[in-house]
Amino acid sequence: MGKKLPDYRSGNVEIPGMAGKIKKKLEETFSQMGARHGNSMSAILLGEKSELDAQMKALYQKSGIGHILAISGLHMSFIGMGFYGLLRRVGCPVKPAGVLGILFLLGYTVMIGGGVSAIRAFVMFGIRVGADLCGRAYDMATSLAVAAALIALESPMYLRDAGYLLSFGAVLGMAAVYPLMMRQGKTESKILQSFQASLAVNLVLFPVMLSFYYEFPPY
C-alpha cells in the first residue's frame, strides 16, 4: 500500500555525503552548550530529538509549543526564503539565486532527514521560486496541493499520519480558511489579524489533534 519516504532521523540510516558530515559537526558544536540547551538546539535546527531530555520535551508539549522541536515548514521557509532573499539583495540575478536557493534547501532537507513537513516545505519552496523564474504569480493553495499529491503518491499511508495531516492542515488553514475570515471581517489591526490567522490554523488542526492526541492546548 506504499512505503514511507526515507526518514534518516530514526538513526538506522546514516545520512550520506557532505550533509552527514555537516550535521555531525553541528551536533558536536551544540553539545558544547551543555546537555539541556545543546540537545534542544539539535532538535530545533537538526530534527535530532533522540538525546532530548524527556522532561524538557514534555514541558514543550504541555505548553502547546511542541511543534518548535520539529523541523516544520516555518523553519524551512525562514531558511529557504532567507537565503534566496539574501542572494537577491546582494545583486544575484533571479535564475542563479533561485537555483542556488533550491540546492541549498535541498541540502538542508537531506541533512535533517527528509521528514514529511520538510519535504512539503521544500516542494512548496521550489514552486515558489519556479514561479519567480517563470514570471508567474505564486499560489499557495496550488503548491500545497502539488506537495500533498506528490507525497501521497509516493506513500499513500501518509494520509493517515499525524505529521502529514498537521503539516498540511496548518498551511491549509492559512491558504483557505484565513482568506475567508479576512473577507468576512477585514481589520487593519495587526493584533486582530494575528488572532485570525492563529484561529484559522487551529480550526483545521483541532479535529486532527483530538483524533491523534486526545487533547488540545486552549492557549
Share of the chain above pLDDT 70, in %: 78
d(CA 214, CA 207): 9
pLDDT of amino acid 10: 41
Q: What is the pLDDT of residues 201-211, one digit of tens each?
A: 888 988 988 88
Q: Cβ neighbours of residue 35 under 8 Å, at least 6 residues apart?
A: 51, 53
Q: What is the pLDDT of residues 125-165, one digit of tens each?
A: 899 889 988 888 888 889 999 999 999 998 898 888 888 88
State the DSSP H helix or E strand holding residue 82, giving kind and residue range, or none if neither: helix 73-89
Of 20 and 180, the one with more pLDDT: 180
Output the DSSP codes for 120-156.
HHHHHHHHHHHHHHHT----HHHHHHHHHHHHHHH-G
d(CA 63, CA 188): 30
d(CA 76, CA 125): 8
Share of the chain above pLDDT 90, in %: 8
pLDDT of amino acid 6: 47
Of 16 and 89, the one with more pLDDT: 89
Of 26 and 13, the one with more pLDDT: 26
What's the grid cell of residue 54? 524527556
d(CA 131, CA 98): 10
- Among residues 30, 38, 110, the alpha carbon closest in space to that of 76 is found at 110
pLDDT of amino acid 71: 64
With 60 as the cut, is the pLDDT of residue 3 above it? no
